[in-house]
Amino acid sequence: MSKMLLFTELLIQQKNVTMEMNKKMRAGLLLVLFAGVFCACSGNVGKIEVEGALKSCEQKMKQTLSQLETDSCLLPRSMSLKDSLWSLVSVYDWTSGFWPGILWYGYETSCDAFIKENAVHYTACMEQLLEPQYSGDHDLGFQFLCSFVNAYRLTGEEHYKQAALDGADKLAKLYHPVVGTICSWPYMKQQKGWPHNTIIDNMMNLELLFWASKNGGNPSYYDMAEKHARVTMKNHFREDYTCYHVAVYDTVSGELIKGVTNQGAYDESFWARGQAWAIYGYTMVYRETKNKEFLNFAEHVADVYLEHLPDDYVPYWDFYAPNIPDEPKDASAAAVVASALLELSQLETDSLKSQKYFLEAERMLCSLLSDKYWAGVTSPAFLLHSTGNYPAGYEIDAAINYADYYCMEALVRYKKIKENS
């Protein structure tokens, strides 16, 4: 063989080796994007690889979309850890807004036309909630905020704005002026004899009323939301700032009858996701009102949650569950709180408190992005180990869409904070 031919052969071999190495590197990168190696942690503190985590979310969205029927309005809600297919629900399910909301966040971070196309489709499906015969309940806030408000924020298209305003009108009809709160479950009057009930989850839905009051809706919705937050602050919490799940009110006097639970271990227990809703809700109320009373309260309810956390920053489904540490975790609560504390860290003007809440949120995200909680290659979900309703016996140690939604929101917030720091 001549020197020239030998040299050419060596070049070809080197090119083949390089191509094979690149192929393996790409495959390895794809595994990393799914595996959850996104935080260089030491004791759950470290640098979060937010771009890699968001890219993984994007790939998992597409994995889910590949499982769904084209033009269907059925939406993914949850799956057990042994499954790789989502259980699907209609738009009337309380969790329906989270899937289009995930897609809108995915479009925001990727500018991917395919993800946007599907965000548009599933948001259009949500318009069924505006049918006159559907009265809905407090979850209208979740349903319209995650879908239509995110869609309007990212596109500026007026029909999304109008749909969100119409959703706020429906939600406002559940407000009881004597009690001063929105009724969460109207059907409980017949089922349990509760004249008027408000659950702590409802703090999340006030944001739709605040948003509407600033975007051409009824300006009285601001007062309605602020009143709800104030009445809940008075009646829904114990002296140590832990919260009841449900507050039952008398509609004649407006007074509290009792505090009970529907999803916690028992009436006086410390249900993790309920406290998460409270932390997020009062942080949002402070953002909207700038009333320091709400800021101080948000910090109190956050601090008691933080004081009870296990070492990995992901709570058991109820802090007072009887068989800890052999109780299921709730990654959804951790995702909600991580997102809330990131916002709280930016609203707080005290630098030490701001840093404290930011670092606590970062620790939570680090844990959620670890191999323990981030779903692997076979699962299209983001997070594992959430608990839906333990007393009712469903979605225990599962992947759930609202865990993924608030995880995605937390990642987007984290990225923006880092970019602006």
Indicate which residues carry an active-site annotation: 139, 201
**Which residues touch 195 (CB under 8 Å, ≥6 apart)?**
189, 248, 249, 250, 251, 257
Q: How far apart are CA 123 and CA 104, in angstroms?
A: 9
* Residue 240 Cα to chain centre, angstroms: 25
Nearest Cα to 330, choosing from 286, 287, 270? Answer: 270
> With the C-alpha atoms ordered 392, 394, 399, 400, is the resulting torsion angle positive or negative?
negative
DSSP-derived letter for residue 42 is S
DSSP-derived letter for residue 374 is B
Q: How far apart are CA 330 and CA 407, in angstroms?
A: 13
Q: How far apart are CA 164 and CA 156, in angstroms?
A: 12
Residues linked to residue 46 through DSSP beta bridges, in sequence order: 41
Q: How far apart are CA 248 and CA 197, in angstroms?
A: 5
> With the C-alpha atoms ordered 61, 65, 68, 70, is the resulting torsion angle positive or negative?
positive
Structure token pair of residue 286: 């402070």
Phi, psi at residue 396, to the nearest 5°?
-100, 125
Nearest Cα to 286, choosing from 341, 217, 218, 355? Answer: 341
| Range list of H helices, 68-157 | 98-110, 113-125, 140-144, 150-155
Residue 86 in contact with residue 398, Cβ under 8 Å? Answer: no
Half-sphere exposure of 420 (CA within 13 A, CB side): 7
325 cis-preceded (ω within 30 degrees of 0): yes
DSSP H or E segment with residue 76: strand 75-80
Residue 280 in contact with residue 297, Cβ under 8 Å? Answer: no
DSSP H or E segment with residue 175: strand 175-176
Nearest Cα to 131, choosing from 97, 91, 89, 100? Answer: 91
